[in-house]
Amino acid sequence: MEYRKLGSTGLSVSEIAFGSEWYVERPYGDVEKIVRHCEANGINFLDCWMSEPTVRTNLGRAIKDTRDKWIIQGHIGPIWQDNQYVRTRQMDKVKEAFDDLMERLQTDYLDFGMIHYVDDMEDYDEIMSGGFIKYVRRLKEDGIIKHVGLSTHNVDIAFLAAENPEIESLMFSINPAYDMFPASGTLEDYRDDGQYVGLAGVNPKRAELYQLCEENGTALTVMKGYASGRLFDENDSPFGVALTPVQCIHYALEQKGVSSIFVGVSNTEELDAALEYERASDGEKEYRHILAKAPMHSFEGKCMYCGHCSPCSSAIDIAMVIKLFDLASIHDDVPQSVREHYNNLNYDATECIACGECEDRCPFNVKIVDIMLDAQDLFN
């Protein structure tokens, strides 16, 4: 198992982590088996968002004697109501559910207290200006949570979190399908096949978010890396082709700033399929040739910012130039922040000598030289 630094927290986590959502209402033996399998394979990072009482109790029992080996993030905001999961901002219910989580996990602290599932801007504003964030701050002051995190599927909210020094960890949905979506995408949008019409290439704002997390030291962890399993089935995949767990994991871990990916597994066999990543060859990890030739929503001709075009004989950071060009192009006028990023590059598009070597290496057949010329015109 490989380990990565978790932003600026000083913690080191396994790059493959355990998401426990599939163990709701399962017997204790199943939970203990998967926990022991995680431990035996070096997984030390656990996420518990599910509010169902049994899974919380079983997880707490399974990790009681090995608590010091685990880095745990628990969510603040999910509750169990009328035998189902509900997300709430009602503070009496929030506090009761969080106390229940701590009691059932049999621990007196969590490494991360995650502000749960914030996909709406009004929701974010209310959380950050009201009793919710005050409660989170008090938990941290009392040492009940060591760090504050937030989970979202919305890029605009993720940007606010990444720019907020109070938020030390961002849990975000990352996979090649979701990365095509515009900034305002929500989990419901991602599940709607009709929303994929006309999409192609990585949305540059999502790529900018990952870069920002790396620059700010905001820990970036991945959820929905498999798109809820859709990417494994060519008939269900928005690309019309199937990817493997290894390829999905590789895609997520290649993104700037990413520390770890939480995999949702229902048994040890599914976990082993994810753990194959640690032994996989470069060829087994490679996904670009599949996406470049996909029959639906192909990435052909679209920059993935993957860096395979490098090295440039003129030392240009080609992927960064194209990313900034894409970001600027979606606006009527070049945003000042994008222009400043471009102006701060050591070597910009004007250094391009049009040798074409980068195009020979690009798996997506991007017309890089043409983009360099367009970038020169756009940024003047």
Q: Are residues 343 and 286 in the same domain?
A: no
Same domain for 249 and 122:
yes
Looking at 253, 275, 292, which one is the last position of a domain?
292
177 in the same domain as 234 = yes
Mean pLDDT computed over 143-164: 95
**183 assigned to some structural domain:** yes
Is residue 233 domain-resident?
Answer: yes
Tokens matching residue 326: 């894409």
Do 271 and 172 belong to one domain?
yes
- Say if residue 196's pLDDT is above 60: no
**Residue 347 located in a structural domain:** yes
Measured in degrees and rounded to the nearest 5, phi and psi for residue 320 equal -70, -40
Same domain? For 343 and 285 the reply is no
Task: Encode pLDDT of 157-166 as tens digits.
Answer: 999 999 999 9
Q: What is the pLDDT of residue 118?
A: 93
**Does residue 267 form part of some domain?**
yes
Please give the pLDDT value at position 354: 93
Q: Are residues 192 and 233 in the same domain?
A: yes
**What pLDDT does 190 receive?**
65
State the Cα–Cα distance between residues 249 and 245, nearest whole angstrom.
Answer: 6
Q: Looking at residue 125, what is its pLDDT?
A: 96
Q: Do 322 and 259 belong together in one domain?
A: no
Mean pLDDT to the nearest integer, 70-76: 97
Nearest Cα to Cα of residue 59 among 6, 19, 112, 16: 19
Domain that holds residue 330: 318-379
Share of residues in the chain with pLDDT > 70 (%): 94
Give the mean model confidence (pLDDT) for residues 295-312.
Answer: 81
Of 292, 326, 353, the residue that ends a domain is 292
Instruction: Please check whether residues 68 and 129 belong to one and the same domain.
Output: yes
pLDDT in tens, 230-261: 899 998 888 889 999 999 999 999 999 999 99
Does residue 310 carry a pLDDT above 70?
A: yes
> Is 107 among the domain residues?
yes
Residues 360 and 215 in one domain: no
- 110: in domain: yes
- Does any domain span residue 180? yes
Same-domain check for residues 189 and 325: no
Both 36 and 133 in one domain: the answer is: yes
pLDDT value of position 191:
62
Find the CATH number of the domain harbouring 219: 3.20.20.100
Residue 144 lies in a domain: yes
pLDDT in tens, 10-33: 999 999 999 988 788 789 999 999
Most confident of 102-111, 189-198, 202-211: 102-111
145-152 and 110-115 beta bridge pairing: parallel
Label residue 82 by pLDDT band (50, 70, 90): confident
Do 263 and 202 sit in the same domain of this protein? Answer: yes
Q: What pTM, to 2 d.p., does this model score?
A: 0.86
